[in-house]
Structure 1
Amino acid sequence: MFARRALSRVVYGSRYDRVPRNHRSYVRPGERLAREVQWRLRIGRTPVMRFQDYRERTLLERTEEFVTCRLCGETRQQPLFQRAGAGRGGTYRVVRCPACGLLYRNPAVRPATPDVPRTDVPYAGLLYADVPYADLLYADVSHADDGAAPDRAADRRRRRHRLTMDAFGPVFSSGRGRTLLDAGHGAGDGIFLRLARERGFDTARLDLAAGPVTAAGGFDVITLWSVLARLPRPVEDLRCLRGLLAPGGVMLILTANAASLQLKAYGNGWTGFRRGNLMFYSAETLVTLLSRTGFAGVAFAPFYGDDVEAGAVGLPGRMGRRLRRNVEAGGGKMIRALAFADREAVHRWGERLGARRST
């Protein structure tokens, strides 16, 4: 750590020490290009393995299973990251699909009840039905990165919810006469649903950690706050959630960005590698997922960072402009996306948000 800090001072100078750590990769001159080259070298130098070879060389924990790509079905594995201690009593390994580019955990957490017949609810409800598994997956759920006190963490979540809703203003400025389903992880503290009700939405919650439940559907909006990375069968799960949307409905997604400069800069130490996360999406792989699950289009809103967007961190002149350019090039910490259930939704909301069609 000291050596890295010393090298950074030699290359960039001490003035960047005053920039919050989460923003340094975005504001230092030339860093985006350097990280992109570093990423391409990592991809080019890491061998692609047959599934059987990967299984033979990788230790499997009791609560884990080997998986293939849940997005395209590719069996080959390209092991990129390994983080000790990120799983319960074991090592957290992340591979890249050489066919579609998805990053995912392999071995992954084994479903607690894999033989339960599917219903009209997301498969995640089956995975999270068993208390030990729910504890494993949700022990670290938080939008705070620094171990903030509960009240402070709640304030940060509230701020992030507001900023994200404001980023898709036409959809969330007023919810009067519309219904919203929050597909959440664990019981939650109700912060977002209170904010949604303040804006006029009639709200409901689907608890993916509580086991299979029945939802009637017909919702105008579904929200996935840091949930997508925890869905073990994303294609099946998103098809199911899309089926709960009314004609003209939309789904809000907030998830860690697997194309972020932070991942390329910190590698195994990236904060997105939390023990409950199973899949890691870039904008490209998210578009693929939405297309394969029947959504008609998607719009993205750049994520510059909560502190920056709220005005709590000021980045003067060139620093601020450089951060915006790097984030808008696809390197932001998080992905904020709005998926449109059908052409009616694209026509109603997407044209004002710069939507791209996916089907």
Structure 2
Amino acid sequence: MTGNVICFDLEGPLSPQDNAYEVMGLFDNGHKIFEVISRYDDLLTLEGRKNYEPGDTLALIVPFLIYHEISERDILRVSERARITDGSGFLISRLEQLGWVPYIISTSYQQHAYNVGEQIGIPPERIYCTFFPLDEFREEIGELGTSLIEDLERDILKKLYPNINDDNRIKERLDRFYYRDIVGTELEDVMRRVVVIGGQRKVDATLRIAKKVKTSLSELIVVGDSITDYKMLKEVKVEKGISIVFNGNKYAIPYSNVGLAATDIRFLLIIISAYMRGGRSTVMDTVKTWENSYDEFVKDPEKIPDDVIPEDLKNFLLTKVRDPEFFPPHFHYLE
């Protein structure tokens, strides 16, 4: 093994930007269309639709990106505006100093994933993301079938978006487009080639990483926050590894064994420090200590025992705890 391994989801833990949502915002009503497609993604995931994985939204929006002539440069331009989660660069640098090998496993298009990775110090060879040669796809598509897309956009904006909680209506209309209208077309072929790294494909990525570094899932730490991560979090948890949900939602929390709510991700080093001292059991003991003593620790960080926080993090917490905009780290034991 080349070192301890930690795998991060990107959108959420490392950067709050929903890149695909922002890219869709480059054309009129794109955000509204994305919200409906995203709801459809949730519905197909919860239904367990065959050959569908959470996060395949990034394939479903391809017809709209091509129709509105969005380019790879546009995706990168939007990515360049992305904020990096506070503490991300510090965390990655410190992890590598401690001998850890950080990876990114993300649904994000490669243009966004590689850009964020470069900013925080994770090279492309350690990023598993959605390969997306959009410019090549646009050149390949001959007759796009613009009337089908125009009709769908009109229905989304006039019928679906105003009734976004009408799940049956959303499924019926979008099923018609994706599973009937474009079947056998060049557009369907292009969409099938967009392999979004979400759901089971994130599990597959963790398995490839584990094989690459000659370890098992029980020795991995994974960090996620949403429905695209739940299978990865669940698999690592079942295998007795460490599954951390960072500022997570209801789709991810049940499948993790550690929860961390914070505005600064450097506090993840508390978990790393505990793991290096005594493995999984020490991590769980540390999390329970933080959960049970949260009020005391936040009131007076000086009283936090040295064995449950690295010294530099304690000093950082002391400088930030009185800041009204600062949200102290809140750990949750989720076993």
Higher RCO (CA-CA < 8 Å; seq separation 6+) = 2
Give the structure-2-normalised TM-score: 0.35
Give the structure-1-normalised TM-score: 0.33
Larger relative strand fraction = 1
Larger relative helix fraction = 2
When Rg is computed on C-alpha atoms for both structures, the one with the higher figure is 2
